[in-house]
Structure 1
Amino acid sequence: MAASTEADWVSRFADDVIAESERRAPGKTVVVASGLSPSGPIHLGNLREVMTPHLVADEIRRRGREVRHVLSWDDYDRYRKVPQGIPGVDASWAEHIGKPLTSVPAPAGSAYPNWAEHFKAAMTAALAELGVEFDGISQTAQYTSGVYREQVLHAMRHRAEIDAILAQYRTKKGPAKPAAKQQQKQQKPVDEAELAAEEGSGAAEEDDGGSTAAGVGYVPYKPYCGECGKDLTTVTAYDDETTELSYTCACGHQETVRLSEFDRGKLVWKVDWPMRWAFEGVVFEPSGVDHSSPGSSFQVGGQIVGPIFGGEQPIGPMYAFVGITGMAKMSSSKGGVPTPGDALQIMEPQLLRWLYARRRPNQSFKIAFDQEIQRLYDEWDALNRKVEDGTALPADIAAFNRAVGTAAGELARTPHPLPYRTLASVADITAGAEEQTLRILSELDPEHPLGSLDEARPRLDRAVNWTTTHVAAEQRTVVRSEPDRERLAGLGDADREGLKLLLEGLDSHWSLDGLTTLVYAVPKLRAGLEPDAKPTPELKTAQREFFVLLYELLVGRDTGPRLPTLLLAVGQDRVRALLGA
Structure 2
Amino acid sequence: MHWADVAAKALSHKGEKHIVSTGITPSGEFHIGHLREILTGDMIARAARNAGLDVEFVFIVDTADPLRKVYDFLGPEYEQFIGHQLGSIPAPDADGNPDWPRFEKEGWTYGDHFLKPFLQALEQIGVRPRIIDNLESYQSGRFDALAKIACDRADEIREAIERISSRELPENWFPWSPLDSKGSLDGVTVTGYEYPLVHWKDMHGETGSSDISKGEGKLPWRIDWPAKWGWIGVTCEPFGKDHGAAGGSYATGREIVQILGHEPPHPLTYEWISLKGQGAMSSSAGNTIGPIEALDLVPPEILRLLVAKSKPNKAIEFDTGMSLVNLADEYERLAARDFEAELLDDGLSRRQRVQVEDAAGAMRMAAVEEGMAAQATAVTFRHLA
Q: For the superposition of Structure 1 and Structure 2, which TM-score range results when normalised by the shorter chain? A: 0.7 to 0.9
2:35 aligns with: 47
Query: Take 2:211 and 2:63, find their aligned partners in 1: how far apart are those partners?
Result: 24
In structure 2, the residue matched to 1:453 is none
Correspondence for 1:509: none
CA distance in 1, matches of 2:126, 2:358: 21
Evaluate the alpha carbon distance shift between residue 410 and residue 40 of structure 1 in structure 2; reply closer, same or farther with a 3 A threshold: farther
User: How does 1:250-269 map onto structure 2 within 5 Å?
Assistant: 250-260=203-213, 262-269=214-221
Superposition pairs for residues 14-413 of structure 1, below 5 Å? 14-20=8-14, 22=15, 27=16, 29-84=17-72, 86=73, 89-109=74-94, 113-171=108-166, 217-225=172-180, 227-240=181-194, 243-260=196-213, 262-306=214-258, 308-387=259-338, 393-407=356-370, 409=372
What SS does structure 2 have at the residue aligned with 1:286? strand
How far off is 1:271 after superposition? 0.8
Alpha carbons of 1:148 and 1:408: their partners in 2 closer, same or farther (altered >3 Å)? farther
Q: Do the aligned residues in 2 keep the contact of 1:235 with 1:245 (CA within 8 Å)?
A: no
Query: Aligned equivalents of 1:409 and 1:397: distance in 2?
Result: 13
Amino acid at match of 1:136: I
**TM-score, normalised via structure 2 length:** 0.86
Contact 2:40 2:238 in 1 (8 A): yes
Partner of 2:346: none
Give SS of 1:343's match.
Answer: helix
Post-superposition shift, 1:390?
Answer: 5.2
Q: Relative to 1, partners in 2 of residues 1:374 and 1:409: Cα closer, same or farther, differing over 3 Å?
A: closer
**CA spacing shift, 1:397–1:281, aligned 2, 3 Å:** same
388-397 or 400-409: bigger deviation: 388-397
Runs of 4+ in structure 1 over 6 Å off:
none
Report deviation, 1:36: 0.7
Alignment identity in percent?
27
Give 1:103's aligned amino acid.
S
Aligned pairs for 1:415-454 (under 5 A) are 416=377, 418-424=379-385
Aligned mates of 1:146, 1:317 — CA distance in 2: 29
| Shift in Å, 1:114 | 1.4
Q: Which runs of 5+ in 1 are unaligned?
A: 1-6, 173-207, 425-581
Residue identity in the other structure for 1:422: H
Whole-angstrom CA distance in 2 between matches of 1:136 and 1:235: 33
Cα 1:385–1:158 change in 2 (3 A) is: same
**Contact 2:138–2:144 (8 Å) recurs in 1:** yes
Q: Which SS does the other structure have where 1:375 is aligned?
A: helix
Mapped to 2, the partners of 1:258 and 1:52 lie a distance apart of 36
1:170-215 deviation digits (Å, cap 9, x = unpaired): 535xxxxxxxxxxxxxxxxxxxxxxxxxxxxxxxxxxx97x7xx7x
Shift in alpha-carbon separation, 1:256–1:383, aligned structure 2, 3 A: closer
**1:328 deviation in Å?**
4.2
2 CA distance for matches of 1:423 and 1:258? Answer: 60
Q: 1:102 deviation in Å? A: 1.3
- Does structure 1 retain, via aligned residues, the 8 Å contact 2:210–2:217? no
Give the CA RMSD over aligned residues. Answer: 2.5
**Aligned-pair distance for 1:421?**
2.9
Deviation per CA, 1:508-528, whole angstroms, max 9, x where unpaired?
xxxxxxxxxxxxxxxxxxxxx
Partner of 2:352: none
Question: Aligned in 2, Cα 1:128/1:65: closer, same or farther, shift over 3 Å?
Answer: same
Q: Partner residue of 2:351?
A: none
Cα deviation code 1:16-38 (max 9, x no counterpart): 11212x1xxxx4x3111101111
Scaled by the length of structure 1, what TM-score is found? 0.58
Structure number having the greater strand percentage:
2
Matched letter for residue 12 of structure 1:
V
1:30-82 CA deviation, whole Å, 9 max, x = no partner? 11110111111122222211111210101122234321112111111011123
Change (3 A) 1:322 1:336: closer
Please identify the structure whose Cα radius of gyration is greater: 1
Report the Cα distance in structure 1 between the residues aligned to 2:271 and 2:165, rounded to whole angstroms.
Answer: 25
| Distance in 2 separating the partners of 1:45 and 1:161 | 36
Distance in 2 (CA, whole Å) between partners of 1:409 and 1:264 is 46
1:258–1:106 distance in 2 versus 1, CA, 3 Å: closer
Distance 1:389 1:157 in 2: 57
Counterpart of 2:80, as a letter, is E
Whether the 8 Å CA contact 2:210–2:216 is kept in 1: the answer is no
Gaps of at least 5 residues in structure 2 are: 343-354
SS in 2 for 1:255: strand
When residues 171 and 277 of structure 1 are mapped into structure 2, their CA distance, relative to the original with a 3 A threshold, is same
Equivalent position amino acid for 2:295 in 1: L
- Of structures 1 and 2, the one with the larger relative CO (CA 8 A, separation 6+) is 2
Q: Which has the higher helix share?
A: 1
Q: Contact between 1:8 and 1:395, CA under 8 Å: does it hold in 2?
A: yes
Residue identity in the other structure for 2:318: I
Give the paired residue count: 363
User: Any idea what the Cα deviations from partners look like across 1:490-548, whole Å, max 9, x if unmatched?
Assistant: xxxxxxxxxxxxxxxxxxxxxxxxxxxxxxxxxxxxxxxxxxxxxxxxxxxxxxxxxxx
